[in-house]
Amino acid sequence: MTLTLRTVAKTYPGGTRALLPTDLDIAEGEIVSLLGPSGCGKTTLLRIIAGLETADAGASIRFKDDDMTHQPVERRKVGMVFQSYALFPNMSVRGNIGYGLKMQGLPRAQIDARVDEVIALCRLEPYAGRAITALSGGQRQRVALARAFAPRPRLLLLDEPLSALDAALRGQLRDELAALLRQFGITAIFVTHDQDEAMAIADRVAVMSQGRVAQIGTPEVLYRAPETAFVARFVGNSMPLGGRIDGDKLHLPGGTLDLGAPSDGKAAFVRAEDVRLAEDGPLTARVTAVTFLGTHYRIALSGATDDTLFCLHQGQSAPKPGQTVRLAIAPQSILTLTPEKAAA
């Protein structure tokens, strides 16, 4: 099912603008992630799509050809996975998964058949008869997903579905969730503040900041060609190279870099994996800390830029803290972007 949003905005009674007018198009079967820091409006947008919040006047929400703008949540046929799962403690696993089908008024046999099918799909057979309170966090998460998916919703919405789990489990369930969503073949939107999660699961990611979509695109595009400084910082942790740009030269406290092409009035950014230790490099910096991370070292450097610059160094050894090193950054790995507005 395609989803079309036009000028969807949300202003709270106090005057706080949680969401600025937003347009969004999601194609049939596409998995889109809303990614952003807390307070960026991503959950508000998701809840408006679900019908759990009402948008400001002038909004239009269409599910394929149906105008859903003024439909209450119970008529929108969306499946939703809540951050806290919101499983009904008074019902068993089966009862939870079958609830949406019961609401559709299906005959008993049909409900049972569909519940069995979804339970098998989500590999919940051993837990089908259990009480919700007897499940682990990961199991609850899968029951919540199964419950949302069982009534064949037009759209699946997931609000930080992995954030209630501990870190070790999260990574494993992330891949599992991605695989299940593909298997479902359903249009899905999920909200997260974790860029790894968004990139691992989504076909397209909408990076949100301060109530608006800053950029929407595939994970590769967002990573390699961020349009704004915010996206560059949030996706892939780009570091600002604070210095003076003069034609195609960037003058930094630790030396001068070649930009390859003139870019006046813009700010330069670089990612830690693109900062190289090189004996003939143009930048000078002092090592302040070295962290060994198994596959690589993470080296903190001062003196090259105004802030601390990080370098991911793959090698058999690393310089010691206090040592002075020389750095190189290839011109094509420097991102030149329009400077952020003050608040970001």
Partner 1 sequence: MRIGKALQLAVTLLAAAFLLVPTIQSVLAGVTVNYFQGIRSGLTLDWIAVVWGLYASSIFLSLGIALACLCVTLVIGVPAAYALARNPGRLSRAVEEFISLPLAIPGLALALALLQLYGSYKGFRMSWTFILVGHVLYTLPFMVRSVQSVLAAIDLKTLEEGAATLGAGPARRFVDVVVPNALPGILAGALTVVTLSIGEFNLTWMLHTPFLKTLPVGLADSYASMRLEIASAYTLIFFVMIVPLLLAMQWASARAQQITK
Q: Which residues pair with 39 in a beta bridge?
A: none
Q: Which is nearer to partner 1, 76 or 233 (CB)?
A: 76
Q: Which is nearer to partner 1, 82 or 212 (CB)?
A: 82
Q: Which is nearer to partner 1, 52 or 337 (CB)?
A: 52
Distances (CA, A) of 244 to 162, 233, 238: 42, 20, 18
Q: Which is nearer to partner 1, 9 or 52 (CB)?
A: 52
Strands, sheet with 244-246, edge to edge from the N-terminal-most edge strand: 244-246, 249-252, 255-258
Compute the least distance from the CB of residue 64 to partner 1, in Å: 18
Q: Which is nearer to partner 1, 130 or 326 (CB)?
A: 130
Distance between CA 267 and CA 244 in Å, rounded? 9
Among 20, 73, 178, 200, binds partner 1 (CB under 8 A): 73
Compute the least distance from the CB of residue 90 to partner 1, in Å: 4
Cβ atoms 266, 253 nearer than 8 A: no
Compute the least distance from the CB of residue 101 to partner 1, in Å: 9
Residues 137-166 that bind partner 1 (CB under 8 A): 147-148, 151, 157
Compute the least distance from the CB of residue 252 to partner 1, in Å: 50
Residues 77-136 that bind partner 1 (CB under 8 A): 77-80, 82, 84, 86-90, 99-100, 103-104
Compute the least distance from the CB of residue 87 to partner 1, in Å: 7
Q: Which is nearer to partner 1, 1 or 275 (CB)?
A: 1
Give residue 28's Cα distance to chain centre: 20
Cβ atoms 25, 49 nearer than 8 A: no
Residues 6-35 that bind partner 1 (CB under 8 A): none
Q: What is the DSSP letter of 164?
A: T
Query: Residue 233 contacts by C-beta under 8 Å, 6 or more apart in sequence?
Result: 240, 269
Distance between CA 119 and CA 147 in Å, rounded? 9
Q: Which two tokens stand for residue 340?
A: 């952020």
Q: Which two tokens stand for residue 302?
A: 């001062």
Binding site for partner 1 (CB under 8 A): 50-52, 72-80, 82, 84, 86-90, 99-100, 103-104, 147-148, 151, 157
